[in-house]
Structure 1
Amino acid sequence: MLLIGGEDWGNGGVTQSGIWQLKDENWNQIGELLQADRSGSAIYIGRSIYYFGYDSEAIERLDFNETEELQNVAQIGNQPSNYFYPVLFQTVFNYCI
């Protein structure tokens, strides 16, 4: 299980950039978002997690290897506006409703 970003209410609600993993009943910080964020959404596709941030409007990709270790964090785009907990789902290429 991962915790991506968030707010530190013990420190005035400061937006966080940490990427934390719960493994063997212990939380460990395994990386950092490129831009601190909160209230975003994430989707897991292949060996990557795509995080759509609320405050920063950034779209970041977290790449993992076959043993589920974080390898890279990259900003791959920006949303046109800030969306509070956007709903994400995977479709096939060039899908149109």
Structure 2
Amino acid sequence: MSAEIHQLFAPRTFVRIYRMPERLIEGYCFGGGVPITFTNVDWFEAIIAEGRAPLVAFIRGKTYYSPSESYLVIGDHPDFTFTIKPGQQFEPSPAEERKP
């Protein structure tokens, strides 16, 4: 099977990308919490078998991406839920670390 056909039928996960606020809440949130705003900047499907590295590279290539901002990636598959922070080097997902 060619690589293109394999990608058509490869298992995928839905991911949502949020720009995180410049400042998060400090201290405790007793009494119901403190609202903060996350901006939803993108959503799409990602191929699970490719892992995080191509996904992070794809996000960093988007027009909304700024290296000075933080992003929260929330995927339906648990290995695709992580943050991208300024200056952060890519770290493999737990599934990628388990590969022989």
Determine if the TM-score, normalized by the shorter chain, exceeds 0.5.
Answer: no
Q: TM-score, normalised by structure 2?
A: 0.29
Greater strand proportion = 1
Q: TM-score, normalised by structure 1?
A: 0.30
Q: Which has the larger radius of gyration?
A: 2
Greater helix proportion = 2
Higher relative contact order (CA 8 A, sep 6+): 2
